Amino acid sequence: MIQHKRLRVAVLGCTGSIGRQTLDVCKQHADKVEVVALSAHSSVEELCRDAREFGVRWVGIADEERAKDVSCDELPQGCELLVGAKACAELGCMPEVDCVVLAVVGFAGIEAALAAVRAGKRVAYANKESIVVAGDLLMPMLQEGQLVPVDSEHSAIFQSLVGEPAAVRCLWLTCSGGPFYGWDRERLRGVTAADALAHPTWNMGAKITIDSATLMNKGLEVLEAHHLFGVGVDDVRVLVHRQSRIHSMVEFVDGSVKAQLGPSDMRIPIQYGMSYPERWEAPCEPQNWHMEPPLSFGEADEETFGCLRLAREAGRAGGTLPCVMNAANEVANAAFREGACGFLDIERIVGTVMERAAVERVSTIEQLWECDRRAREAAHVVLREVGA
Ligand code: NDP
Ligand code: MG
Protein backbone atom coordinates (compact mmCIF):
# COMPACT_ATOMS: atom_id res chain seq x y z
CA MET A 1 0.00 0.00 0.00
CA ILE A 2 1.35 3.48 -0.84
CA GLN A 3 1.77 5.39 2.42
CA HIS A 4 0.90 9.08 2.32
CA LYS A 5 1.45 11.45 5.23
CA ARG A 6 -1.90 10.45 6.70
CA LEU A 7 -4.00 7.39 5.91
CA ARG A 8 -6.76 8.55 3.55
CA VAL A 9 -9.97 6.84 4.62
CA ALA A 10 -13.42 6.34 3.06
CA VAL A 11 -16.09 5.45 5.62
CA LEU A 12 -18.92 3.64 3.85
CA GLY A 13 -22.03 3.52 6.06
CA CYS A 14 -20.76 6.41 8.22
CA THR A 15 -24.18 7.12 9.77
CA GLY A 16 -24.51 3.70 11.43
CA SER A 17 -23.18 2.31 14.69
CA ILE A 18 -19.81 1.17 13.27
CA GLY A 19 -19.62 4.24 11.03
CA ARG A 20 -20.08 6.69 13.94
CA GLN A 21 -17.50 4.88 16.05
CA THR A 22 -15.10 4.93 13.09
CA LEU A 23 -15.47 8.70 12.83
CA ASP A 24 -14.80 8.97 16.55
CA VAL A 25 -11.53 7.01 16.12
CA CYS A 26 -10.63 9.21 13.13
CA LYS A 27 -11.19 12.33 15.24
CA GLN A 28 -8.98 10.99 18.03
CA HIS A 29 -6.22 10.23 15.52
CA ALA A 30 -6.55 13.23 13.23
CA ASP A 31 -2.74 13.34 12.99
CA LYS A 32 -2.74 9.87 11.39
CA VAL A 33 -6.04 9.71 9.51
CA GLU A 34 -7.68 11.95 6.92
CA VAL A 35 -11.34 11.20 6.17
CA VAL A 36 -11.73 11.88 2.45
CA ALA A 37 -15.06 10.18 1.58
CA LEU A 38 -18.29 9.29 3.37
CA SER A 39 -21.47 7.47 2.39
CA ALA A 40 -24.91 6.62 3.76
CA HIS A 41 -28.14 5.15 2.51
CA SER A 42 -30.74 7.79 3.39
CA SER A 43 -29.62 9.68 6.55
CA VAL A 44 -28.68 12.73 4.48
CA GLU A 45 -28.71 15.40 7.22
CA GLU A 46 -26.29 13.43 9.36
CA LEU A 47 -24.13 12.66 6.33
CA CYS A 48 -23.89 16.34 5.32
CA ARG A 49 -23.02 17.35 8.90
CA ASP A 50 -20.19 14.79 8.96
CA ALA A 51 -19.04 15.85 5.50
CA ARG A 52 -18.71 19.46 6.70
CA GLU A 53 -17.02 18.48 9.96
CA PHE A 54 -14.37 16.38 8.22
CA GLY A 55 -14.18 18.55 5.08
CA VAL A 56 -14.43 15.51 2.82
CA ARG A 57 -13.95 15.57 -0.93
CA TRP A 58 -16.65 13.03 -1.84
CA VAL A 59 -19.97 11.87 -0.42
CA GLY A 60 -22.19 9.03 -1.62
CA ILE A 61 -25.94 8.61 -1.09
CA ALA A 62 -27.48 5.27 -2.06
CA ASP A 63 -31.12 6.38 -1.94
CA GLU A 64 -31.72 8.46 -5.08
CA GLU A 65 -34.91 10.08 -3.74
CA ARG A 66 -33.27 11.26 -0.52
CA ALA A 67 -30.28 12.56 -2.50
CA LYS A 68 -32.61 15.10 -4.19
CA ASP A 69 -32.97 16.83 -0.78
CA VAL A 70 -29.27 17.70 -0.70
CA SER A 71 -28.10 21.05 -2.04
CA CYS A 72 -24.49 22.05 -2.74
CA ASP A 73 -24.30 24.57 0.11
CA GLU A 74 -24.89 21.78 2.65
CA LEU A 75 -21.65 20.15 1.55
CA PRO A 76 -18.09 21.41 1.98
CA GLN A 77 -16.75 23.54 -0.86
CA GLY A 78 -15.65 21.46 -3.84
CA CYS A 79 -17.19 18.28 -2.43
CA GLU A 80 -18.56 15.97 -5.12
CA LEU A 81 -21.85 14.07 -4.59
CA LEU A 82 -22.30 10.56 -6.00
CA VAL A 83 -25.78 9.05 -6.05
CA GLY A 84 -27.32 5.59 -6.39
CA ALA A 85 -26.67 1.97 -5.52
CA LYS A 86 -23.18 2.05 -7.03
CA ALA A 87 -22.05 5.22 -5.19
CA CYS A 88 -20.38 3.28 -2.35
CA ALA A 89 -18.44 1.13 -4.80
CA GLU A 90 -17.26 4.20 -6.73
CA LEU A 91 -16.04 5.92 -3.55
CA GLY A 92 -14.21 2.83 -2.36
CA CYS A 93 -11.99 2.55 -5.41
CA MET A 94 -10.95 6.22 -5.83
CA PRO A 95 -7.18 6.58 -6.28
CA GLU A 96 -7.15 9.15 -3.43
CA VAL A 97 -8.41 6.51 -0.93
CA ASP A 98 -5.93 4.23 0.90
CA CYS A 99 -8.31 2.48 3.29
CA VAL A 100 -12.02 1.69 3.06
CA VAL A 101 -13.96 1.13 6.28
CA LEU A 102 -16.84 -1.03 5.08
CA ALA A 103 -19.59 -0.37 7.62
CA VAL A 104 -22.65 -0.84 5.37
CA VAL A 105 -25.21 -3.33 6.73
CA GLY A 106 -26.42 -6.35 4.72
CA PHE A 107 -25.57 -7.93 1.39
CA ALA A 108 -25.83 -4.46 -0.24
CA GLY A 109 -22.20 -3.92 0.83
CA ILE A 110 -20.88 -6.49 -1.63
CA GLU A 111 -20.36 -4.20 -4.65
CA ALA A 112 -18.24 -1.82 -2.56
CA ALA A 113 -16.30 -4.74 -1.09
CA LEU A 114 -15.47 -6.22 -4.49
CA ALA A 115 -14.56 -2.83 -5.97
CA ALA A 116 -12.26 -1.91 -3.07
CA VAL A 117 -10.54 -5.30 -3.05
CA ARG A 118 -10.11 -5.20 -6.84
CA ALA A 119 -8.55 -1.73 -6.54
CA GLY A 120 -6.04 -3.13 -4.00
CA LYS A 121 -7.28 -1.05 -1.05
CA ARG A 122 -6.86 -1.85 2.61
CA VAL A 123 -10.39 -2.83 3.66
CA ALA A 124 -11.30 -2.56 7.36
CA TYR A 125 -14.18 -4.97 6.98
CA ALA A 126 -17.28 -4.88 9.21
CA ASN A 127 -19.89 -5.94 6.63
CA LYS A 128 -20.04 -9.64 7.56
CA GLU A 129 -23.07 -10.47 5.39
CA SER A 130 -21.12 -9.86 2.18
CA ILE A 131 -18.32 -12.22 3.27
CA VAL A 132 -20.84 -14.92 4.19
CA VAL A 133 -22.65 -14.64 0.85
CA ALA A 134 -19.77 -13.96 -1.52
CA GLY A 135 -16.74 -15.34 0.32
CA ASP A 136 -16.15 -17.83 -2.53
CA LEU A 137 -15.66 -14.89 -4.94
CA LEU A 138 -14.08 -12.39 -2.59
CA MET A 139 -11.38 -14.43 -0.86
CA PRO A 140 -9.51 -15.58 -3.99
CA MET A 141 -9.21 -11.89 -5.03
CA LEU A 142 -7.34 -10.89 -1.90
CA GLN A 143 -3.65 -10.30 -1.63
CA GLU A 144 -2.05 -10.63 1.77
CA GLY A 145 -2.75 -7.92 4.30
CA GLN A 146 -5.48 -6.09 2.43
CA LEU A 147 -8.49 -7.22 4.41
CA VAL A 148 -8.48 -6.61 8.16
CA PRO A 149 -11.63 -7.78 9.92
CA VAL A 150 -13.46 -5.34 12.18
CA ASP A 151 -15.95 -7.78 13.70
CA SER A 152 -14.55 -8.11 17.25
CA GLU A 153 -14.23 -11.92 17.18
CA HIS A 154 -12.51 -11.94 13.80
CA SER A 155 -10.21 -9.10 14.76
CA ALA A 156 -9.25 -11.15 17.85
CA ILE A 157 -8.47 -14.18 15.68
CA PHE A 158 -6.61 -12.05 13.12
CA GLN A 159 -4.52 -10.52 15.93
CA SER A 160 -3.84 -13.98 17.45
CA LEU A 161 -2.61 -15.20 14.07
CA VAL A 162 -0.10 -12.40 13.47
CA GLY A 163 3.34 -14.01 13.17
CA GLU A 164 1.95 -17.56 13.17
CA PRO A 165 2.49 -20.11 10.41
CA ALA A 166 -0.59 -22.14 9.44
CA ALA A 167 -0.83 -24.70 12.25
CA VAL A 168 -4.38 -24.05 13.43
CA ARG A 169 -6.44 -26.87 14.95
CA CYS A 170 -9.61 -24.86 15.48
CA LEU A 171 -11.02 -21.40 16.19
CA TRP A 172 -13.06 -20.53 19.29
CA LEU A 173 -15.59 -17.79 18.58
CA THR A 174 -16.79 -16.27 21.81
CA CYS A 175 -20.46 -15.39 22.15
CA SER A 176 -22.18 -13.30 24.84
CA GLY A 177 -25.22 -15.58 24.52
CA GLY A 178 -27.47 -12.62 23.73
CA PRO A 179 -30.25 -11.17 25.90
CA PHE A 180 -32.15 -14.47 26.06
CA TYR A 181 -29.36 -16.75 27.21
CA GLY A 182 -30.79 -19.71 29.16
CA TRP A 183 -34.38 -19.15 27.98
CA ASP A 184 -36.51 -22.01 26.60
CA ARG A 185 -38.55 -21.86 23.40
CA GLU A 186 -41.84 -21.33 25.21
CA ARG A 187 -40.47 -18.13 26.72
CA LEU A 188 -38.86 -17.06 23.43
CA ARG A 189 -42.24 -17.27 21.67
CA GLY A 190 -43.40 -14.10 23.47
CA VAL A 191 -40.29 -12.00 22.80
CA THR A 192 -41.00 -8.58 21.24
CA ALA A 193 -38.70 -6.41 19.10
CA ALA A 194 -38.24 -4.02 22.06
CA ASP A 195 -37.06 -6.93 24.28
CA ALA A 196 -34.64 -8.12 21.61
CA LEU A 197 -33.26 -4.63 20.92
CA ALA A 198 -31.95 -4.36 24.50
CA HIS A 199 -28.58 -6.13 24.08
CA PRO A 200 -26.66 -6.66 27.34
CA THR A 201 -23.12 -5.84 26.15
CA TRP A 202 -22.83 -4.05 22.83
CA ASN A 203 -24.65 -0.98 21.53
CA MET A 204 -25.17 -1.86 17.86
CA GLY A 205 -27.38 -1.20 14.82
CA ALA A 206 -30.92 -2.65 14.90
CA LYS A 207 -30.34 -5.51 12.42
CA ILE A 208 -27.30 -6.99 14.16
CA THR A 209 -28.94 -6.57 17.58
CA ILE A 210 -31.80 -8.83 16.49
CA ASP A 211 -29.28 -11.23 14.89
CA SER A 212 -27.46 -11.34 18.25
CA ALA A 213 -30.70 -12.27 20.04
CA THR A 214 -31.52 -15.13 17.63
CA LEU A 215 -27.81 -16.17 17.50
CA MET A 216 -27.95 -15.75 13.72
CA ASN A 217 -25.17 -13.23 14.29
CA LYS A 218 -22.98 -16.01 15.67
CA GLY A 219 -24.03 -18.23 12.77
CA LEU A 220 -22.99 -15.54 10.28
CA GLU A 221 -19.73 -15.17 12.19
CA VAL A 222 -18.97 -18.89 11.95
CA LEU A 223 -19.22 -18.62 8.16
CA GLU A 224 -17.31 -15.32 8.16
CA ALA A 225 -14.45 -17.00 10.08
CA HIS A 226 -14.57 -20.02 7.77
CA HIS A 227 -13.97 -17.77 4.75
CA LEU A 228 -11.55 -15.31 6.33
CA PHE A 229 -9.25 -17.88 7.90
CA GLY A 230 -9.75 -20.89 5.60
CA VAL A 231 -10.88 -23.13 8.48
CA GLY A 232 -13.61 -25.79 8.03
CA VAL A 233 -17.10 -24.81 9.24
CA ASP A 234 -17.03 -27.47 11.99
CA ASP A 235 -13.62 -26.29 13.18
CA VAL A 236 -15.09 -22.91 14.01
CA ARG A 237 -16.47 -23.58 17.49
CA VAL A 238 -18.77 -21.33 19.48
CA LEU A 239 -18.01 -20.68 23.13
CA VAL A 240 -20.51 -18.86 25.32
CA HIS A 241 -18.60 -16.30 27.37
CA ARG A 242 -21.00 -13.90 29.06
CA GLN A 243 -18.46 -11.27 30.13
CA SER A 244 -17.28 -10.46 26.56
CA ARG A 245 -13.69 -9.87 27.67
CA ILE A 246 -12.07 -12.61 25.58
CA HIS A 247 -12.98 -11.61 22.05
CA SER A 248 -12.05 -15.00 20.51
CA MET A 249 -9.25 -17.57 20.49
CA VAL A 250 -7.12 -19.69 18.18
CA GLU A 251 -6.16 -23.23 19.17
CA PHE A 252 -2.96 -24.47 17.50
CA VAL A 253 -1.99 -28.07 16.70
CA ASP A 254 0.41 -28.21 19.67
CA GLY A 255 -2.45 -27.49 22.09
CA SER A 256 -1.49 -23.83 22.71
CA VAL A 257 -4.34 -21.34 22.65
CA LYS A 258 -3.92 -17.63 21.85
CA ALA A 259 -6.63 -15.08 22.56
CA GLN A 260 -7.15 -11.35 22.37
CA LEU A 261 -8.77 -9.68 25.39
CA GLY A 262 -9.84 -6.13 26.13
CA PRO A 263 -12.74 -3.80 26.83
CA SER A 264 -16.03 -4.46 25.00
CA ASP A 265 -15.55 -1.43 22.77
CA MET A 266 -15.82 -1.74 19.00
CA ARG A 267 -13.52 1.24 18.53
CA ILE A 268 -10.54 -1.02 19.33
CA PRO A 269 -11.05 -3.46 16.41
CA ILE A 270 -12.17 -0.59 14.15
CA GLN A 271 -8.95 1.27 14.91
CA TYR A 272 -6.83 -1.85 14.41
CA GLY A 273 -8.47 -2.25 10.99
CA MET A 274 -6.89 1.07 10.06
CA SER A 275 -3.64 0.93 12.07
CA TYR A 276 -2.55 -2.67 11.31
CA PRO A 277 0.28 -3.67 11.50
CA GLU A 278 0.87 -0.73 13.86
CA ARG A 279 -0.93 -0.06 17.11
CA TRP A 280 -2.15 3.41 18.01
CA GLU A 281 -3.10 4.88 21.41
CA ALA A 282 -6.30 3.34 22.85
CA PRO A 283 -9.53 5.02 21.71
CA CYS A 284 -11.22 4.19 25.06
CA GLU A 285 -10.52 3.66 28.75
CA PRO A 286 -8.39 0.59 29.56
CA GLN A 287 -9.90 -2.35 31.44
CA ASN A 288 -9.35 -2.51 35.18
CA TRP A 289 -8.53 -6.22 35.43
CA HIS A 290 -8.43 -6.16 39.25
CA MET A 291 -12.14 -5.35 39.29
CA GLU A 292 -13.21 -8.02 36.80
CA PRO A 293 -15.66 -10.75 37.81
CA PRO A 294 -14.52 -14.33 37.09
CA LEU A 295 -14.64 -15.32 33.44
CA SER A 296 -17.10 -18.11 32.60
CA PHE A 297 -17.48 -20.42 29.61
CA GLY A 298 -20.34 -22.54 28.30
CA GLU A 299 -21.77 -24.24 25.26
CA ALA A 300 -24.14 -22.55 22.80
CA ASP A 301 -27.65 -24.05 22.71
CA GLU A 302 -28.22 -24.74 18.98
CA GLU A 303 -31.51 -26.54 19.65
CA THR A 304 -33.18 -23.57 21.32
CA PHE A 305 -31.49 -21.01 19.06
CA GLY A 306 -32.02 -22.75 15.74
CA CYS A 307 -30.57 -19.94 13.60
CA LEU A 308 -27.07 -20.94 14.67
CA ARG A 309 -27.75 -24.53 13.57
CA LEU A 310 -29.21 -23.33 10.24
CA ALA A 311 -26.14 -21.20 9.55
CA ARG A 312 -23.85 -24.14 10.19
CA GLU A 313 -25.96 -26.27 7.80
CA ALA A 314 -25.73 -23.55 5.15
CA GLY A 315 -21.97 -23.38 5.64
CA ARG A 316 -21.54 -27.15 5.34
CA ALA A 317 -23.58 -27.25 2.12
CA GLY A 318 -21.80 -24.13 0.79
CA GLY A 319 -22.46 -22.80 -2.73
CA THR A 320 -25.47 -20.49 -2.88
CA LEU A 321 -27.11 -21.77 0.34
CA PRO A 322 -25.46 -19.13 2.60
CA CYS A 323 -26.79 -16.49 0.16
CA VAL A 324 -30.30 -17.95 0.49
CA MET A 325 -29.99 -18.08 4.27
CA ASN A 326 -28.73 -14.50 4.51
CA ALA A 327 -31.45 -13.09 2.23
CA ALA A 328 -34.22 -14.91 4.13
CA ASN A 329 -32.75 -13.69 7.41
CA GLU A 330 -32.57 -10.06 6.22
CA VAL A 331 -36.29 -10.23 5.31
CA ALA A 332 -37.33 -12.05 8.50
CA ASN A 333 -35.20 -9.80 10.73
CA ALA A 334 -36.80 -6.64 9.24
CA ALA A 335 -40.30 -8.19 9.46
CA PHE A 336 -39.78 -8.98 13.15
CA ARG A 337 -38.63 -5.40 13.83
CA GLU A 338 -41.78 -4.13 12.10
CA GLY A 339 -43.99 -6.45 14.19
CA ALA A 340 -44.96 -8.54 11.12
CA CYS A 341 -43.81 -11.86 12.63
CA GLY A 342 -42.80 -13.40 15.96
CA PHE A 343 -39.30 -14.05 17.26
CA LEU A 344 -39.32 -17.79 16.54
CA ASP A 345 -40.77 -17.13 13.08
CA ILE A 346 -37.38 -15.71 12.04
CA GLU A 347 -35.85 -19.18 12.32
CA ARG A 348 -38.92 -20.76 10.70
CA ILE A 349 -38.77 -18.43 7.70
CA VAL A 350 -35.02 -18.92 7.21
CA GLY A 351 -35.28 -22.72 7.59
CA THR A 352 -38.24 -23.03 5.19
CA VAL A 353 -36.65 -20.85 2.50
CA MET A 354 -33.44 -22.90 2.79
CA GLU A 355 -35.37 -26.19 2.44
CA ARG A 356 -37.11 -24.95 -0.73
CA ALA A 357 -33.97 -23.61 -2.40
CA ALA A 358 -31.87 -25.35 -5.07
CA VAL A 359 -28.16 -25.06 -4.27
CA GLU A 360 -25.62 -24.17 -6.96
CA ARG A 361 -21.88 -23.59 -7.00
CA VAL A 362 -21.04 -19.86 -6.84
CA SER A 363 -19.44 -18.56 -10.01
CA THR A 364 -20.50 -14.92 -10.53
CA ILE A 365 -21.78 -11.96 -8.57
CA GLU A 366 -24.77 -11.71 -10.95
CA GLN A 367 -25.74 -15.26 -9.95
CA LEU A 368 -25.65 -14.19 -6.27
CA TRP A 369 -27.80 -11.11 -6.94
CA GLU A 370 -30.37 -13.35 -8.66
CA CYS A 371 -30.21 -15.92 -5.86
CA ASP A 372 -30.60 -13.15 -3.27
CA ARG A 373 -33.64 -11.74 -5.14
CA ARG A 374 -35.35 -15.13 -5.40
CA ALA A 375 -34.68 -15.97 -1.74
CA ARG A 376 -36.15 -12.62 -0.65
CA GLU A 377 -39.30 -13.35 -2.69
CA ALA A 378 -39.51 -16.83 -1.16
CA ALA A 379 -39.09 -15.34 2.33
CA HIS A 380 -42.02 -12.97 1.71
CA VAL A 381 -44.14 -15.97 0.66
CA VAL A 382 -43.26 -17.83 3.89
CA LEU A 383 -43.85 -14.65 5.88
CA ARG A 384 -47.42 -14.55 4.51
CA GLU A 385 -47.88 -18.27 5.35
CA VAL A 386 -46.62 -17.65 8.90
CA GLY A 387 -48.99 -14.71 9.31
CA ALA A 388 -52.00 -16.64 7.90
P1 NDP B 1 -26.34 0.29 11.14
O2 NDP B 1 -27.68 -0.15 10.73
O3 NDP B 1 -26.18 1.03 12.42
O4 NDP B 1 -25.67 1.19 9.97
C5 NDP B 1 -25.67 0.77 8.66
C6 NDP B 1 -25.02 1.81 7.75
O7 NDP B 1 -25.12 1.35 6.40
C8 NDP B 1 -25.71 3.17 7.78
O9 NDP B 1 -24.77 4.18 7.53
C10 NDP B 1 -26.69 3.07 6.62
O11 NDP B 1 -27.09 4.33 6.11
C12 NDP B 1 -25.87 2.30 5.61
N13 NDP B 1 -26.69 1.53 4.66
C14 NDP B 1 -27.78 0.77 4.95
N15 NDP B 1 -28.25 0.19 3.82
C16 NDP B 1 -27.46 0.59 2.81
C17 NDP B 1 -27.44 0.38 1.40
N18 NDP B 1 -28.37 -0.39 0.80
N19 NDP B 1 -26.46 0.95 0.66
C20 NDP B 1 -25.54 1.74 1.24
N21 NDP B 1 -25.49 2.00 2.57
C22 NDP B 1 -26.45 1.43 3.34
O23 NDP B 1 -25.41 -1.02 11.14
P24 NDP B 1 -24.14 -1.36 12.06
O25 NDP B 1 -23.21 -0.22 12.07
O26 NDP B 1 -24.61 -1.95 13.33
O27 NDP B 1 -23.48 -2.57 11.23
C28 NDP B 1 -22.77 -2.38 10.02
C29 NDP B 1 -22.11 -3.70 9.63
O30 NDP B 1 -21.13 -4.01 10.63
C31 NDP B 1 -23.08 -4.89 9.60
O32 NDP B 1 -22.72 -5.76 8.58
C33 NDP B 1 -22.87 -5.56 10.96
O34 NDP B 1 -23.14 -6.93 10.93
C35 NDP B 1 -21.38 -5.30 11.19
N36 NDP B 1 -20.98 -5.27 12.60
C37 NDP B 1 -21.54 -4.38 13.45
C38 NDP B 1 -21.18 -4.34 14.79
C39 NDP B 1 -21.74 -3.30 15.71
O40 NDP B 1 -21.29 -3.22 16.87
N41 NDP B 1 -22.68 -2.48 15.30
C42 NDP B 1 -20.21 -5.29 15.33
C43 NDP B 1 -19.65 -6.17 14.33
C44 NDP B 1 -20.04 -6.16 13.03
P45 NDP B 1 -28.43 5.10 6.69
O46 NDP B 1 -28.07 5.56 8.08
O47 NDP B 1 -28.60 6.23 5.76
O48 NDP B 1 -29.53 4.09 6.67
MG1 MG C 1 -19.04 -9.95 16.35
CB of 13 shorter than 6 A to ligand 1: yes
CB of 108 shorter than 6 A to ligand 1: yes
| Superfamily of domain 7-127 in the CATH hierarchy | NAD(P)-binding Rossmann-like Domain (3.40.50.720)
CB of 131 shorter than 6 A to ligand 1: no
Predicted local confidence at residue 166, as pLDDT:
83
Predicted local confidence at residue 202, as pLDDT:
64
This model's pTM is above 0.95: yes
CB of 47 shorter than 6 A to ligand 1: no
Predicted local confidence at residue 165, as pLDDT:
85
The ligand placed nearest to the CA atom of residue 219 is 2
| CA 219 – CA 9 distance, rounded (Å) | 30
CB of 62 shorter than 6 A to ligand 1: yes
Sketch the domain layout of the chain as residue ranges: 7-127, 158-257+297-387
Predicted local confidence at residue 265, as pLDDT:
96
Distance from Cα 222 to the centre of ligand 2, integer Å: 10
Predicted local confidence at residue 366, as pLDDT:
96
| CA 188 – CA 180 distance, rounded (Å) | 8
Distance from Cα 122 to the centre of ligand 2, integer Å: 20
Query: Is the domain 158-257+297-387 a CATH 1.10.1740.10 member?
Result: yes
The ligand placed nearest to the CA atom of residue 91 is 1
| CA 284 – CA 378 distance, rounded (Å) | 44
Predicted local confidence at residue 201, as pLDDT:
64
Distance from Cα 14 to the centre of ligand 1, integer Å: 8
Atom of ligand 1 nearest to the CA of 43: 47
For the chain, 388 residues long, the average pLDDT of each consecutive 10-residue run is 79 98 98 98 97 97 95 93 95 95 95 93 96 96 82 98 94 95 96 85 87 97 98 98 97 98 97 97 95 95 97 98 98 97 98 98 97 98 89
Predicted local confidence at residue 5, as pLDDT:
86
